[in-house]
Amino acid sequence: MKAVKYLGLFCMVLLLMYSCKGPQPEKKPKITIDTTFYPSFSGDTAFSFVAKQISYGPRVSNSEANKRCGDWLIEKLRTYTSDVTVQAFQARAYNGQVIHGRNIIASFHPEASSRILLASHWDSRPFADHDPNPANRNKPIDGANDGASGVGVLLELARIMHTYPPNIGVDIILFDAEDYGPPEDLQTQQGEDWWGLGSQYWSRNKHIPSYNARYGVLLDMVGVPQPSFLMEGFSMYYAPDVVKKIWDIAASLGYGKYFPKQKGGFITDDHYYVNKYAGIPMIDIIHLENDPQGSSFFEHWHTLQDNLEHVDPQSLQMVGDVLVRLIYKPQ
């Protein structure tokens, strides 16, 4: 009985001591500091690469401007890596014309088994079929945003990876003949597979037969001022985890306004064929607009006004910053 008596007294003392302490301070959450080194991306340098492409004139497949710009792209990439492959191919266009194209592939850390794929198309549209002036609709376009902007970002990333080799393998693919699809007045009579001829060829005939990547990122129309990079439909269907990863990175950098977590339409772009035929989950960072009354694309899409004047280095900067984080953040 004594033991029980003293035990009760002891418990009362403990209870009194605890009640006298008052409210306990909340535990502070553990703060994780990211010590990863991230090289600086230059939107101005990316813009200069866009301007260089435009200087050759419209880069329509089979044209002299396409040949000269392609030669420059190959030599430029060879200053950043010795591992550059030129994949020549032939494809038949919607009008029966045979396209003589070149996909250009540059690899970094080629011995690494863990790889990511970054891509854009480098050709431009043979006709401005959405131009407000009917007299312009058979003229070729500069494609400053539609093609050259994505390539400009990838060239700047290549320059960075040459100076600061990444820990993972990275492959850059510049697809040819993406934009040689039928003009607007024929599109109801033609299938969608007349687009993305270069990516269709590569996806069925990889430059390395056993090539694979964990995932891929396509860039298209990324130089639009005040961009709206909605979560494109096929990207969400094939690789929603990759979309989430990249949009989370954008939000962490303060770019959430431009990478809103909102779904956009389904776009038959190069990434569609990489998913469908190559089996590599690939997403599309592409400017899309929620306008049920008009086009999903930017105002000057497939017009003569898709020129250098309508490319914003700050938009290139944002996309480049996001991809630098993707490449150099521990995977």
Tens digits of per-residue pLDDT, 38-66? Answer: 999 999 999 999 999 999 999 999 999 99
Q: What is the pLDDT of residue 184?
A: 79
Mean pLDDT of 58-81: 98
Q: What is the pLDDT of residue 141?
A: 97
1: in domain? no
Residue 5 has pLDDT above 50, yes or no: no
Taking the C-alpha atoms of residue 93 and residue 85, their distance in angstroms, rounded to an integer, is 24
Name, in order, each residue with C-beta under 8 angstroms of 167's C-beta and a sequence gap of 6 or more: 109, 112, 328, 330, 331
Name, in order, each residue with C-beta under 8 angstroms of 9's C-beta and a sequence gap of 6 or more: none
Q: What is the pLDDT of residue 19?
A: 52
Tokens 């050709």 identify what position?
123
Name, in order, each residue with C-beta under 8 angstroms of 105's C-beta and a sequence gap of 6 or more: 84, 85, 86, 87, 171, 172, 173, 174, 207
Q: What is the pLDDT of residue 183?
A: 87
276: in domain? yes
132: in domain? yes
Residue 197's φ and ψ, nearest 5 degrees, are -65, -40
Domain encompassing residue 113: 37-328
At 27, the pLDDT band (50, 70, 90 cuts) reads low
49: in domain? yes
Apex CA 101: angle with CA 95 and CA 106, to 5°? 150
At 244, the pLDDT band (50, 70, 90 cuts) reads very high
CATH number for 115: 3.40.630.10
Taking the C-alpha atoms of residue 180 and residue 197, their distance in angstroms, rounded to an integer, is 8
Identity of residue 213: A
* Domains: count for the chain: 1
Please report the DSSP string for 252-305 in residue order: HTT-TTTS-S-B------HHHHIIIII---EEEEE-----TTS-SS-TTTTSTT
Q: What is the pLDDT of residue 190?
A: 53
Q: How many other CB atoms are there within 10 angstroms of residue 10's CB atom? A: 10
Taking the C-alpha atoms of residue 128 and residue 141, their distance in angstroms, rounded to an integer, is 6
225: in domain? yes
242: in domain? yes
> In this predicted structure, which of 24-28, 75-79, 109-113, 304-308 has the lowest mean pLDDT?
24-28
Q: What is the pLDDT of residue 278?
A: 97
Mean pLDDT of 136-158: 97
Residue 12 has pLDDT above 90, yes or no: no
Report the first-to-last Cα separation within the chain, whole angstroms.
64
Query: What are the tens digits of pLDDT across the range 179-237?
Result: 999 987 776 655 568 999 999 999 999 999 999 999 999 999 999 999 999 999 999 99
11: in domain? no
296: in domain? yes
Confirm whether pTM is higher than 0.75.
yes
